[in-house]
Amino acid sequence: MHHLPELGRVGIWIGGLDLQPVAAVGEAAAEIEALGYGTLWLSDALVRDPFLDATVLLGATRSLVVGTGIAVIWSRHSRSVQGMTRTLLESHPGRFVLGLGTSHARGVEGVLGLRFERPLAQMRRYLDQLDAPDPVLELAGVSGFTAAPVPRVLAALGPKALELARDRSAGALTYLVTPEHTARARALLGPDRTLAVEQAVVVGLPAAEARERARAHVAAYLPSDPYRMSWQRLGFTDADFANGGSDRLVDALVAVGEEAVSERVAAHLAAGADHVCLQALPATVGTVPLDQWRLLAPVAARPLLRH
C-alpha cells in the first residue's frame, strides 16, 4: 500500500515556482511552513525539474511535506522517477509525495514535442514499470531487496482516472473542480483512499480585479479537452465555455475573497476531501503570491469540520 504522510487539512499548490531563483524557492517554502500550511504541491512547468526543486524545498524546511502536483510521466523515464523519489524519501523520511499525471495534449505535444495518445493506458504502463523489480539490482545479483512502496497519488478528473488512482495509488489529486466533483470522486475512490483537491483562489484584491484574474485563469484551460469534459459532467455547457468562461463557471471554479475561500474549503471537506491545496492566483505567472498566502493562513489554521 502506498501510504501517504499527514498532509494537513489545507496546503498550497503553486505553479511557476521554477521561474524563480533557487534561493527564492527555499525562502518561499520556509514562509509556507511558518504560516502553518501542511503541504506544498509543485507543478511540473517543464522549465526546471520539480524533483530538484523538491530537494531545495525540503532542505529549507523542517516538517513541510512536499509533493509533485503533478510530475508529467511523458517527460522522464520511470527509472529516473523511481530513483529520485527514493533519494528524497531517504533524505527526508515521511515528507515527500510522488504525484503523477499525464497532463494534456497542449503541454505534451506543444512543449515536449511528443505524441499524446491513450493517456490512461500510458499511465498504467508507467505504473507497471515503477512497480516492477529493479533490473539493475537483478543484473548485479542483489537478491532479497524489496523497496518500500513510495507514497504516491495520481492526477484524476474522470471516472476511469479516479478508478485507476484508487486501484494503483494512495489516492487522487484533482484540479479545477467543484465540491460536487469532490463528492463524486470520493464515491469512486472509496473511504480508504486520500483525496487531495486543488482550489484556485484570489484574495486581497478589489472585486472587479479579482474576477478578471479568476476569469483569465479559467480561460487558459478552456481549450483543454479533459477539463471541458470534466466540467460538462458537472452540468456546464458550451455556453459556459464562450468568451473566456461564463460567470457561473468562473465562480464555481475560483473562490474570491477570504470568506468565500473558507466556505469553499469547508464545502470540499464536507464532500469528502481529505486535503485542500489552495492555488493563489498571481498577477503574472511565476510570481510568488506571498501576500495572498499570508491572508489565507487563518483558513489553514481554522478548525474546519469535514462532516
Percentage of the residues of the chain whose pLDDT score is greater than 70: 90
For residue 10 the three cell numbers come to: 489545507
What pLDDT is recorded for position 306? Answer: 42
What pLDDT is recorded for position 302? Answer: 72
Tens of pLDDT along 136-180?
766 766 655 556 788 999 999 999 999 999 999 999 999 999 999
Question: Which DSSP string do the residues of 157-172 spell out, in sequence order?
Answer: -SHHHHHHHHHHSSEE
Within 10 Å of residue 199's Cβ, how many Cβ atoms?
27
For residue 307 the three cell numbers come to: 462532516
User: By the 8 A CB rule, do 76 and 197 touch?
Assistant: no
**Residue ranges in the chain modelled with pLDDT below 70:** 1, 46, 104-114, 137-138, 140-147, 303-307
What pLDDT is recorded for position 138? Answer: 66
The answer to whether the predicted template modeling score (pTM) of the entire model surpasses 0.85 is yes
Distance CA 69, CA 171 (A): 13
Domain range list for the chain: 10-214+254-301
Tens of pLDDT along 276-288?
999 999 999 889 9
Domain covering 10-214+254-301 in this structure, CATH number:
3.20.20.30
What pLDDT is recorded for position 108? Answer: 61
Neighbour-count burial of 190, counting CB atoms closer than 10 A to its CB (0-12 exposed, 13-18 middle, 19+ buried): exposed
Report DSSP state, residue 215: H
Tens of pLDDT along 4-15?
999 999 999 999
Distance CA 215, CA 96 (A): 32
